[in-house]
Amino acid sequence: MPALVDRFGRTHTYLRISVTDRCNLRCLYCMPEEGMVFMEQDKLLSYAQILEVAAAAAKFGIRKFRITGGEPLVRPNLDELVAGLSALPGIEDISLTTNGILLAPQARKLKEAGLKRVNISLDTLDAARFKFIARRGDLNRVLEGVQAAAEAGLTPIKLNCVLLKGVNEDEIETFLKLSTDQPLHVRFIEYMPIGHEDAGWRNHYLPLSKVLEEARRLGYAVHSVEGPQGSGPSDDYRIEGGVGTFGLIHPISDQFCKNCNRLRLTADGNLKPCLYWVDELNVKQALGSEEAMERLFLRAMDIKPENHEMAALLAGEKLTHVPTERRMSQIGG
Domain ranges of the chain: 14-331
What pLDDT score does 35 carry? Answer: 75
Taking only the tens place, the pLDDT of each residue in 55-69 is: 999 999 999 999 999
| Class of the CATH domain delimited by 14-331 | alpha beta
Give the rounded distance of the alpha carbon of 83 from its chain centre.
Answer: 21
Which residue, 211, 207, 281, is CA-closest to 250?
207
Question: How confident is the prediction along the chain (333 residues), in pLDDT tens digits per residue?
Answer: 678 999 999 999 999 999 999 999 998 888 888 877 888 888 999 999 999 999 999 999 999 999 999 999 999 999 999 999 999 999 999 999 999 999 999 999 999 999 999 999 999 999 999 999 999 999 999 999 999 999 999 999 999 999 999 999 999 999 999 999 999 999 999 887 665 556 666 778 888 899 999 999 999 999 998 877 655 678 899 999 999 999 998 766 556 677 889 999 999 999 999 877 778 899 999 999 999 999 999 999 999 988 766 655 555 667 666 666 666 666 776
For the chain, the three-class secondary structure string (H helix, E strand, C coil) is: CCCCECCCCCECCEEEEECCCCCCCCCCCCCCCCCCCCCCHHHCCCHHHHHHHHHHHHHCCCCEEEEECCCHHHCCCHHHHHHHHHCCCCCCEEEEEECCCCCCCCHHHHHHHCCCEEEEECCCCCHHHHHHHHCCCCHHHHHHHHHHHHHHCCCCCEEEEEECCCCCHHHHHHHHHHHHHCCCEEEEEECCCCCCCCHHHHHHCCCCHHHHHHHHHCCCCEEECCCCCCCCCCEEEEECCCCCEEEEECCCCCCCHHHCCEEEECCCCEEECCCCECCCEECHHHCCCHHHHHHHHHHHHHHCCCCCCHHHHHCCCCCCCCECCCCHHHHCC
